Amino acid sequence: MIFFIFGGGYSGRAFAAKTSYPVYGTTRNPQQFSNLKKSNIRPLLFHNNQLDQSSLFAILERITHLIISIPPSTNQEDPVLELPQFQKRIQNLQWICYLSTVGVYGNHNGHWVDERSICRTTSPYKKKRIDIENKWLLFSKKNNIPLAILRLAGIYGPGRNAFVKLRTKKAHLIIKEGQVFNRIHVADIAGAIKHLAHKKQIGTFNLCDNQPAPPQNVITFAAQLMGIKPPPEIPFEKANLDPITKSFYKDNKRVSNASIIRNGYNLLYPNYQQALTNMWHSNQW
């Protein structure tokens, strides 16, 4: 197997670091080349007009597994599908994985959702995610290449977690009655991709842990592990939140991961308590 990751960011690097197969990956910033190399990724520049097409196309002709971890472009399209000659260059491609978001479901008033649930998002950006999912489904069918779509919950892991927020004084205990969020440790993103890739699995899968939970519970638990007091509670109505953060509280749902569990994937971190405890005691946060 030869992997190519469009978007060698946090999730892509986590996957590459856990596989023994060759991995190529893109970044928009050449200053990130060293970080990609540390994660077992052979880096390429892919950003607007900054693109070495000859090198990219030569590699695409060899790859067997493709992971797309790039958000919609500034014109709200998929930059990979817009790449000239992309379809002609993937002659040996055997499997595609598109990383999407559980945000496509929108608000379900705290009820459970699965892959069959209606996507109710009102966000133009998340609607575009649905549109791009459908374009990849069409591409997969047209070219007879297996496609897995992973709808990811809120991602956390080393460098991105409640400990960091508490240590940097950026943690807030926002209280909104009934509000829950879904989350997934980055190691489980890597693990799920590896699991699906080896099986060349087809389908759409939610990827989240077993425990949708109020965000304040996560902060409080992390503070207990650190042996410090959590920040004071702030009612949502009185919280001074930036527009992006505030928008997350518009959607309230409990996302089921039953489909990918039935497929045979076993979560490394089935809940935030196990993950945070392991991260804290191993000093890998």
202 in any annotated domain: yes
196 in any annotated domain: yes
Of 164 and 87, the structure prediction assigns the larger pLDDT to 164
169-182 per-position pLDDT tens digit: 999 999 999 999 99
**Sign of the dihedral through C-alpha 49, 93, 138, 150:** negative
Residue 23's CATH number: 3.40.50.720
Phi-psi sector, 270: left (phi>0), alpha (psi -120 to 50), beta? alpha
What span, in angstroms and rounded, lies between the C-alpha atoms of 192 and 212? 19
> What's the number of domains the chain is made of?
1
Rg (CA), the chain: 19
What span, in angstroms and rounded, lies between the C-alpha atoms of 285 and 280? 6
Range of the domain at 70: 3-157+183-212+254-268
Instruction: Record the pTM.
Output: 0.95
Q: Is the pLDDT of residue 32 over 70?
A: yes
Strand pairing of 183-185 and 233-235? Answer: unpaired
The backbone torsions φ and ψ at residue 25, rounded to the nearest 5 degrees and listed phi first, read: -155, 155
219 in any annotated domain: no
> What is the rounded average pLDDT of the residues 184-212?
98
258 in any annotated domain: yes
> In 3-state terms, what secondary structure has residue 25?
strand
Q: Is the pLDDT of residue 74 over 70?
A: no
Q: Is the pLDDT of residue 53 over 90?
A: no
86 in any annotated domain: yes
Q: At 54, is the pLDDT very low, low, confident or very high (cuts 50, 70, 90)?
A: confident
What span, in angstroms and rounded, lies between the C-alpha atoms of 282 and 61? 41
249 in any annotated domain: no
Q: At 50, is the pLDDT very low, low, confident or very high (cuts 50, 70, 90)?
A: low
Listed range (53-67, 198-212, 249-263) with the worst mean pLDDT: 53-67
User: What is the CA 52 to chain-centroid distance, rounded?
Assistant: 26
235 in any annotated domain: no
285 in any annotated domain: no
